[in-house]
Structure 1
């Protein structure tokens, strides 16, 4: 059984406190006041309140750390080498539609490197956490990525662009190519949980374009600490700061990357023709 460090305990307590309000609001989801933030991108009063709770709890424990938060953006702390990267409600659309697949994601960045992460799924009371060099865990159970080596036996998660977001033709081509090679594709609507589930071996892999740093920062660390491999789809080694994420075990990662890149090349050839 793993012994959680002081910093993981700080993150876990903050997530659990914010979760109490989210669970209450989820039970009353039809009564939430929702404001329009952008094309097909909604923010609820629950989302805002959870972010305020997380900021207050994390700031109380580490007052000098900075923040990068989904709703309120970036703020530099006195300690410029540390910042919290926070998504108070990853899976907002699921939440607002009463779908029970959403989570709180918190990562700690030290001098540009993610060193600790928590993804908390309140409805199942699953606290996924990882710390650099200490492995990845679900509550007290050690996580390992899937051991599958055949793509036609693998279930792969992805994210799909919605109205107002670009990349529909590109992703449609990727999706078509991946469906032909795998045992199944899943789109659950929370990048943080998709990555946590890859770390847990529930999904064999995951890819998505146009992701935000707060969506994936904690989950990427979990996959790597669980023995997985994470890059950008095109092969770049900076998925935290890039525009896409591809995560799987080392065997499937190469196969998935090959299929995705071939689909992109084929689409460009067809478009030019």
Structure 2
């Protein structure tokens, strides 16, 4: 499906405009609740948190989307049970919907809880399983990253482009620490050990969606993480692709919404990063 054939307008309402407006309102609400959280609950581990703000924000997003597109399906993190099995099942049940909104009300909840200003609202729209609109909004910096399939990506009106580094030794990359401490975390630590001497440096901000947005904007050369769900990466994956980058699974297989172990880069260092990750896992 090419960009020109994608129906971005339905009933005179722009998908992208609704996504941007919804993300903005949700982000304003999230920012207003910073430091005023009343309930913090654990999901799968001590680093997998949910608050009343996550749930309230998702309700706000759902209501705004349904106001404009009442027949569209919505897949949101807080509407799905905890754990990888539940998230995979929820996606499988909804992936063939004609229009499916995929939302993460707060990507980076742990940061939000601690007042660490690196979290965002992530909203994507998929048409029959293919992401056609992606929006990632950072309310703390008031940065709205927007992408449309086949039409490019931008932030604050400026077109985004991935970085130009062609060597790992010049690359600033990022990762995220998995909430699964039995399999994915040891794997991740081995990969960090393998890569840290090969790249310029490694960061871990705590929000997969923002890391992807930073790859799209050229602020990071690459990003990888294990054990993610569709709502973590749907919007960000389109941002990277529309900015000239590459997104696959960590073995180099094509990206789909079902991918849980993701790598996104400027394209130049993609094969080299996968090679290092492969070597780390072989050694482990």
TM-score calculated relative to the size of structure 1: 0.91
Distance (Å, rounded) in 2 between the aligned partners of 1:201 and 1:230: 14
- Do the aligned partners of 2:180 and 2:227 also contact (CA within 8 Å) in 1? no
Task: State the partner residue of 2:54.
Answer: 47
Structure 2: gaps (5+ residues): 1-7, 81-89
Paired residue for 1:37? 43
Does structure 1 residue 20 correspond to structure 2 residue 28? yes
Give the equivalent residue in structure 1 for 2:112: 95
SS at the partner of 1:206? Answer: strand
Alignment match of 1:11 (pick from 19, 24, 27): 19
Q: Is contact 1:239–1:245 with CA below 8 Å preserved after alignment?
A: no
Q: Which residue of 1 aligns with 2:229?
A: 212
Matched, 1:72 2:89: no
SS in 1 for 2:78: coil
- Cα drift, residue 240 of structure 1: 2.4
| SS of aligned partner of 2:117 | coil
Partner Cα distance (2:36, 2:206) in 1: 20
Shift of 1:197: 0.3
Please tell me the root mean square deviation across aligned C-alpha atoms, in Å.
1.9
Distance 2:267 2:41 in 1: 42
CA contact (8 A) 2:251 2:274 kept: yes
Match of 1:60 among 55, 67, 91: 67
By how many angstroms is 1:163 displaced?
6.3
User: Deviations 1:158-199 (Å, cap 9, x if unpaired)?
Assistant: 011246553222111111011010010000000000000000
Shift of the 259–38 alpha-carbon distance from structure 1 to 2, 3 Å rule, reads closer
* Alpha-carbon contact 1:88-1:104 (below 8 Å) kept: yes
Quick check: 1:145–1:249 contact (8 Å CA) kept in 2? Answer: yes
1:42-88 C-alpha deviation (Å, 9 max, x unpaired): 211111110000000011111110011101135989x9311100000
Structure 2 residue aligned with 1:231, among 248, 264, 273? Answer: 248
Equivalent residues of 2:124, 2:133 under 8 A apart: yes
| SS in structure 1 of the partner of residue 268 of structure 2 | helix
1:215 is displaced (CA, Å) by 0.2
Q: How many residues align?
A: 261
